[in-house]
């Protein structure tokens, strides 16, 4: 069945997605004080701005986005508890660079170490977590590269988990946006990413003050996530995300000539995205649809259904698009468990498939019993 949503706003995207000569892109970016820039819609992954987005560059501490991603995935999979105590090795405590001065041989809660990575970009905490999850930083780096491959980050190679200068380590603006977008799927991340100031409490009573290097969480409305980076080779870098209404944007700047430039370019990207585009909410993953799914052999002949998740369609403003969805039900036989897949929804924009979602049962339906069948027959006689 076909369900029309509404005519939606869509702008002229030709200027955004036009392919520009590589030399022109390089010249444009470098004359503006940075090496690469990439801005995209979080939900659809659609590019909004792109300059040198697949060129290989060192990315400094933005490497820690992958370190954090693996920590949060380990917690989601039950392989790590944020409450567990992590023993800090001599190697981890002596990493240098940005750090929270962990004590060798001391134990710290995993959550506190992860928080220090999010806020203070702590190299010592990164290595401590890498050793906890894989036994060594080297093995953890292998896992970082495996995960990058799974995410389609084909222009990235990690050599360490901190982003400290190392031969052969590189990434690109588009890949950094991919791994940040994946990290944003973990709601627990936002518990730490929005903190401006905090303290690391050490076992013997010493305290290390921490300040978030991503100034945009205070200066830009809607910015709630991100990771800065700086080395002499990488320049000033920033991966950040902001959300307003239903629209979340991810922006990456690599190789800026100053800290001010990376923040200014990110603000420009966010401003442009929110002013010119919108994310239309088409389906609410928490709300049952009007349509019911037929069920055979159950105590009910039909059940309420809902999309497995919410659906948003990325649109530019000022032009109209026709967006609608079609529902396809499976042949469903009782018993039916709540949240079991009973069909699919295909969302179209201008008759082109834009999204595909599973349709799930919003309630449980038991199998019809022998006595239910007799009652139905009796009810039929009474009629």
Domain boundaries, the chain: 2-6+284-370, 32-277
**Which pLDDT belongs to residue 316?**
87
- Measured distance CA(190)–CA(115) in Å, rounded: 10
Kindly report the pTM of this predicted structure.
0.83
**Which pLDDT belongs to residue 2?**
54
CB-based contacts of 296: which residues, under 8 Å, 6+ apart? 331, 332, 333, 334
**Which pLDDT belongs to residue 281?**
86
**Which pLDDT belongs to residue 280?**
87
**Which pLDDT belongs to residue 96?**
87
CB-based contacts of 83: which residues, under 8 Å, 6+ apart? 109, 110, 111
Residue 186 half-sphere exposure, CB side, CA atoms within 13 Å?
21
CATH number of 32-277: 3.40.710.10
Find residue 270's DSSP bridge partners. none
Name the fold adopted by 2-6+284-370: Peptidoglycan synthesis regulatory factor (PBP3), Domain 2 (2.60.410)
Antiparallel, parallel or unpaired: β 197-201 and 341-349: unpaired
pLDDT averaged over 10-residue windows placed end to end, the chain, 383 residues: 44 34 53 93 94 98 98 97 97 94 97 98 98 98 98 98 96 98 97 96 94 95 97 97 96 98 98 94 94 94 95 85 93 95 95 94 88 57 54
Nearest to 282 by CA among 327, 319, 249: 327
Question: Integer distance in angstroms from the first to the last C-alpha of the chain?
Answer: 33
State the residue for tokens 């690109």: 172
- Measured distance CA(255)–CA(4) in Å, rounded: 45
Q: Which phi and psi (to 5°) does residue 228 adopt?
A: -90, 170
């Amino acid at each position: 069945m076909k369900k029309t949503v509404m005519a939606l706003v869509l702008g002229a995207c030709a200027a955004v997605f036009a392919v520009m000569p590589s030399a022109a892109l390089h010249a444009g970016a470098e004359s503006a004080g940075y090496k690469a820039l990439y801005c995209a819609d979080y939900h659809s992954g659609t590019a909004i701005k792109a300059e040198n987005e697949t060129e290989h560059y060192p990315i400094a501490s933005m490497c820690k986005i992958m370190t954090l991603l693996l920590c949060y995935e380990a917690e989601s999979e039950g392989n790590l508890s944020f409450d567990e105590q992590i023993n800090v090795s001599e190697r981890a405590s002596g990493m240098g660079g940005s750090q929270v001065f962990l004590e060798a041989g001391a134990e710290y809660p995993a959550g506190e170490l992860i928080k220090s990575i999010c806020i203070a970009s702590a190299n010592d905490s990164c290595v401590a977590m890498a050793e906890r999850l894989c036994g060594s930083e080297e093995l953890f780096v292998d896992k970082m590269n495996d995960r990058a491959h799974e995410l389609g980050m084909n222009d990235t190679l990690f050599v360490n988990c901190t982003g400290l200068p190392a031969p052969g380590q590189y990434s690109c603006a588009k890949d950094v946006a991919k791994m940040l977008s994946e990290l944003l799927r973990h709601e627990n991340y936002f518990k730490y990413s929005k903190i401006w100031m905090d303290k690391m409490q050490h076992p013997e009573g010493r305290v290390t003050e921490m300040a978030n290097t991503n100034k945009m969480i205070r200066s830009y409305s809607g910015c709630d996530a991100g990771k800065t980076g700086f080395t002499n080779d990488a320049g000033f870098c920033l991966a950040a995300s902001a959300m307003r209404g239903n629209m979340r944007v991810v922006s990456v700047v690599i190789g800026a000539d100053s800290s001010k430039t990376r923040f200014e370019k990110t603000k420009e990207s966010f401003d442009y995205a929110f002013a010119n585009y919108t994310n239309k909410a088409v389906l609410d993953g928490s709300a049952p649809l009007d349509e019911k799914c037929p069920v055979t052999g159950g105590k009910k002949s039909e059940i309420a259904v809902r999309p497995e998740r919410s659906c948003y369609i990325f649109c530019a403003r000022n032009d109209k698009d026709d967006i609608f969805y079609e529902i396809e039900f499976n042949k469903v036989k009782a018993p039916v468990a709540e949240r079991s897949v009973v069909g699919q929804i295909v969302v179209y924009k201008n008759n082109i498939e834009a999204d595909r979602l599973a349709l799930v049962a919003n309630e449980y339906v038991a199998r019809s019993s022998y006595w239910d069948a007799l009652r139905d027959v009796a009810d039929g006689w009474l009629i």
